[in-house]
Amino acid sequence: MSKVLIIGAGGVSGVVVHKCAALPEVFTEIVLASRTEAKCKKIAAQLDRPIETARVDADNVPELVALISRVKPDLVINVALPYQDLTIMDACLETGVHYMDTANYEPLDSAKFEYSWQWAYQEKFEKAGLMALLGSGFDPGATNVFTAYIAKHYFDEIQYLDIIDVNGGDHGYPFATNFNPEINIREVTAECLHWQEGAFVTTPAMSLKQSFTCPDQVGTYNIYRMYHEELESLTKHFPTLKRAQFWMSFGDSYLKHLEVLGNVGMTGIEPVEYNGQQIVPIQFLAALLPDPGSLGPRTQGKTCIGCVVRGIKDGKEKTVYLYNSCDHQACYAEVQSQAISYTTGVPAMIGAKMMLEGTWMKPGVWNMEQLDPDPFMADMNRYGLPWQIVEEPGFDLV
């Protein structure tokens, strides 16, 4: 018997709510709250069981505390934006409730992806006997668990990690983002960091690319090296890694639009004055772009996200590739959402389930790779994200 409070009512939230609602034996009661309650009601109307909805401004700790105190959930699932991570963690501490999210905290005024702010809560959560699970989406999330699973079952020592995120989906728009446009563009335009021999090395955004052929007929795509937050926690928790890189596929049209938008200042995060009003260019751009939630019915193709790990087993070098591929239209048929939200929302539901069932419950602030990967991997197969493992895949990665 458990009650969850889900905060945020966007693309990812829609999937989390559908998936939690389909497991009433774990998620006995669900309350969905967001800044715009109408969006919560829209998601609620798609379900075949009743859930409660509410309005909350998650930037406001007293408002959150009032809501959590009234609802009395066992766990708060944060699928609002990374800007709200710390306020929701503060409210959870004040009300004595466990916490989970899918993306690390980011201050509104600087596009910085790092865990320092949330790791600083370790002692507070531990002392309060509460758990905070960080980054339970796909990447971060499943990719952290994949790495832990490979390290546990296939190697004595892991040394090289390449996380490869390919979205082979086509929505037919010249430019649109598959999740929150502001967060997506901040991430993609940030300088690239990769781990090399004990330190992060900085290179210009999108300056290294290679071609990658996915399994399962997903296709061949250009993948670009970029920074992604799980590199920070994985290199900390697997100190034997000599190199760790993250790669993501982008189409030529997406990159061309992004370059032009960047050149004219539309991706800026500093406010500019226009007609006596302060406007943040990237927020205005986000208002013009298609709502990621509307891409579901029109996106065709598959995603393929996985980890390539090279290391040592029984004194010999070997390589293992673990991945999931997911079909956009199949996701839409199941939960009325495209595969990017689906691949994030399913691991979020599984992370919450691991906590509520006690499988992963321990006080403190944890990244996914710090917990036993096996039960999570079993649930990935069970709840819509089956994975494959290939030994010696024969890739020739840069």
Positions that interact with ligand NDP (CB under 6 A): 8-13, 34-36, 39, 56-59, 79-82, 84, 102-103, 135, 137-141, 179-180, 183, 292-293, 344
The Cα–Cα gap between 16 and 19 comes to 5
CB nearer to ligand NDP: pick between 8 and 268: 8
At its nearest, how many Å lie between ligand NDP and the CB of residue 352? 14
- Write the burial class of residue 66 (CB in 10 Å: 0-12 exposed, 13-18 middle, 19+ buried): middle
At its nearest, how many Å lie between ligand NDP and the CB of residue 375? 19
The encoded tokens of residue 85 equal: 């991570």
CB nearer to ligand NDP: pick between 91 and 192: 91
Under a CB-based contact definition with an 8 Å cutoff, are residues 5 and 33 in contact?
A: yes
At its nearest, how many Å lie between ligand NDP and the CB of residue 337? 9
The Cα–Cα gap between 31 and 50 comes to 10
At its nearest, how many Å lie between ligand NDP and the CB of residue 236? 18
The residues facing 390 across adjacent strands are 321
CB nearer to ligand NDP: pick between 64 and 128: 64
At its nearest, how many Å lie between ligand NDP and the CB of residue 392? 28
The encoded tokens of residue 241 equal: 């890694």
Tell me the H-state helices in the chain: 11-21, 37-45, 61-71, 85-95, 116-119, 122-128, 142-154, 181-189, 230-237, 252-263, 281-288, 328-335, 339-356, 373-382
CB nearer to ligand NDP: pick between 102 and 319: 102
CB nearer to ligand NDP: pick between 289 and 397: 289
Residues 220-240 as b/e (b if ≥16 CB within 10 A, e otherwise) read: ebbbbbbbbbbbbbbbebbee
The helix/strand/coil state of 298 is helix
CA angle 229, 231, 236 (to 5 degrees): 115
- Write the burial class of residue 64 (CB in 10 Å: 0-12 exposed, 13-18 middle, 19+ buried): buried
CB nearer to ligand NDP: pick between 44 and 128: 44
At its nearest, how many Å lie between ligand NDP and the CB of residue 196? 24
At its nearest, how many Å lie between ligand NDP and the CB of residue 167? 11
CB nearer to ligand NDP: pick between 86 and 205: 86
CB nearer to ligand NDP: pick between 178 and 245: 178
The Cα–Cα gap between 170 and 261 comes to 21
Sign of CA pseudo-dihedral 201, 202, 203, 206: positive
At its nearest, how many Å lie between ligand NDP and the CB of residue 318? 28
